[in-house]
Amino acid sequence: MDKYISSEGASHPRRSFLKSSGVLTAGLFLGGSLKAADSLQINTTNAAVPAILGGEPVRRAAWTKWPIWKPETDEQRVVDVIRSGIWSRAAMVTEFEKEWAAALGVKRSLAVVNGTNALVVALNQLHIRTGDEILVPPYTFIASITAVLSNGAMPVFVDIDPETYQMDPAKIEAKITPRTKAIMPVHILGLPCDMDRIMAIARKHNLVVIEDACQAHLAEYGGKKAGTIGNAGCFSFQNSKNLPIGEGGAIVSDDDALMDRCFSYQNYGYPYGTSVGVVGAGSSMQGTKVRLTEYQAAIGLSLLKRLDGETTTRNNNAAYLKSQLSGIPGVRPYKLYPKVTRAAFHLFPFRYDQQAFKGLPREEFLKALRAEGVPCSSGYTVLNNQLFLKDAFESKAYQNSYKKEQLDFDRYVADNKCPENEKLCKEAVWFTQNMLLGPKTDMDDIAAAIARIHKNAEKIKLAAKK
């Protein structure tokens, strides 16, 4: 309780859920604060048969679609760009960068093709090179790690905090060697990392911090936006993300020199500010080309207008859903660090305890939940033993730059073992962010469906075995 916030100030009494869900029995809340009066409100008429066993699903209605596109407010800007014929990077991308920086309260922002390349460019221009070790979490999307490999560096995995699912600051220092150059906290699922402790360790050991905020748009830690606390922060605007453009990404930082270099690097190494179409500017540094287009920026500008409101809705619904789920045995939602003032909730996660569901395996639980009309997934699988790492180690570039024992894959896998992450990968259940954008009754449906499965877990397990 002292280390984490157990509930984000949700003030919704359990009673309202029981009234609206109509599927619970008092027995479900043995550990809770259910009073006799509450149990009288319970209607058990549709509690009998779970949908997977042929009953009526808790929900048939569609969930909030993603992305949300409102032609009346969103379209004109995009149409204007298309008709202008100015499609390569120009004023619209610059405007998007300004607006994104303003939304985050950071000095500079550079838009690029995607979040993966935002990380590649930021790492590169923070001078991460072959031989350097970068501390990364194992509970992340593969792009965090490939960005490290793309720069020839070595990912070193730091296990997660089992309550928050984020890189555990207590486990960082044991992984630091003379080769360590950077820490890459990933605000995974849109839940912020414990940045005070991470920054303190980075200062102590003179390490660079690159925040992977690709799932953490407008999340806040100590009143500061995720992505603006380290040396640089990286964002993704891929279709599923909370600010969707289809593809797109951004690097943000207060460091002008760094941002000038990043700009050059994403545009052939031409000097900062060089316009698209200028071919004789002369390059003094090696670069690549990962520019955003004008119509992508136009989509981003249109949707950015709704991001703040949507983020508030996700936070309110997540807090409410968390409070409803906390009464169901075997469902253990995420915790947030005390300094987290806002999360992004790119995903809503909880741990599923098979034992509390009569031994019903997670896969069968997910099937039963989908049958009730609630989309869900099991999330990430273990990342730090996958063959893409071995493939990188076997490349000429790595073979020429690292000692043989550093590239011994079995040894690497053993050294990078993250038991807490392995456990989480086996237990996690996710709901996607768009499910948190509907009315509160959508949250009631999720909780009711899970409660119904819990009540019928034995029957569902037996049916699954047949």
Segment lying near ligand PLP (by CB under 6 A), choices 11-19, 109-117, 255-263, 421-429 = 109-117
Encode burial over 404-423: b for 16+ CB neighbours within 10 A, e otherwise.
Answer: eebbeeeebbeebebebbbe
CB of 241 to ligand PLP, least distance (A): 6
Place of tokens 């990364």: 136
List CB contacts of 320: < 8 A, sequence separation 6 or more: 10, 12, 440, 443
CB of 334 to ligand PLP, least distance (A): 16
Separation of alpha carbons 389 and 370, rounded Å:
34
CB of 464 to ligand PLP, least distance (A): 32
Count of residues touching ligand PLP (by CB under 6 A): 15
Among 180, 231, 238, 323, binds ligand PLP (CB under 6 A): 238
Separation of alpha carbons 126 and 144, rounded Å:
16
Separation of alpha carbons 36 and 16, rounded Å:
15
What binding mask, one character per residue, do residues 239-258 give for ligand PLP by CB under 6 A, x or -? ----------x---------
Q: Give 169 or 249: the residue with its C-beta nearer to ligand PLP.
A: 249
CB of 351 to ligand PLP, least distance (A): 20
What binding mask, one character per residue, do residues 140-159 give for ligand PLP by CB under 6 A, x or -? xx-xx---------------
Which of these, 372, 294, 301, 299, lies nearest to 89 by C-alpha position? 294
Separation of alpha carbons 192 and 346, rounded Å:
11
Separation of alpha carbons 258 and 317, rounded Å:
38
Regarding 266 and contact with ligand PLP (CB under 6 A), the answer is no
Residue of this chain nearest to ligand PLP (CB atom): 115
- Preceding amide of 67 cis, omega within 30: yes
Element (H, E) at 18: helix 14-21
CB of 215 to ligand PLP, least distance (A): 5
Regarding 21 and contact with ligand PLP (CB under 6 A), the answer is no
CB of 450 to ligand PLP, least distance (A): 25
The one-character DSSP state at 246 is B
Separation of alpha carbons 64 and 439, rounded Å:
10
CB of 57 to ligand PLP, least distance (A): 30
Among 51, 112, 153, 214, binds ligand PLP (CB under 6 A): 214
Q: Identify whether the C-beta of residue 153 lies closer than 8 Å to the C-beta of residue 129.
A: yes
Segment lying near ligand PLP (by CB under 6 A), choices 5-13, 113-121, 272-280, 384-392 = 113-121
Which of these, 399, 408, 217, lies nearest to 306 by C-alpha position? 217
Regarding 211 and contact with ligand PLP (CB under 6 A), the answer is no
Among 212, 372, 427, 444, binds ligand PLP (CB under 6 A): 212
CB of 282 to ligand PLP, least distance (A): 30
Separation of alpha carbons 327 and 279, rounded Å:
64
Among 20, 114, 385, 434, binds ligand PLP (CB under 6 A): 114
CB of 291 to ligand PLP, least distance (A): 14
Segment lying near ligand PLP (by CB under 6 A), choices 98-106, 157-165, 212-220, 306-314 = 212-220
Q: Give 24 or 148: the residue with its C-beta nearer to ligand PLP.
A: 148
Query: What SS3 class is residue 214?
Result: coil
Separation of alpha carbons 330 and 154, rounded Å:
38
Separation of alpha carbons 78 and 296, rounded Å:
8
Among 106, 148, 154, 186, binds ligand PLP (CB under 6 A): 186
- C-alpha distance across the termini of the chain, in Å: 43
Regarding 134 and contact with ligand PLP (CB under 6 A), the answer is no
Separation of alpha carbons 90 and 276, rounded Å:
7
Identify any residues that bridge with 289 across adjacent strands, giving them in sequence order.
267
CB of 413 to ligand PLP, least distance (A): 22
Segment lying near ligand PLP (by CB under 6 A), choices 197-205, 207-215, 305-313, 356-364 = 207-215
- Binding positions for ligand PLP, rule: CB under 6 A: 114-116, 140-141, 143-144, 186, 188, 212, 214-215, 236, 238, 249
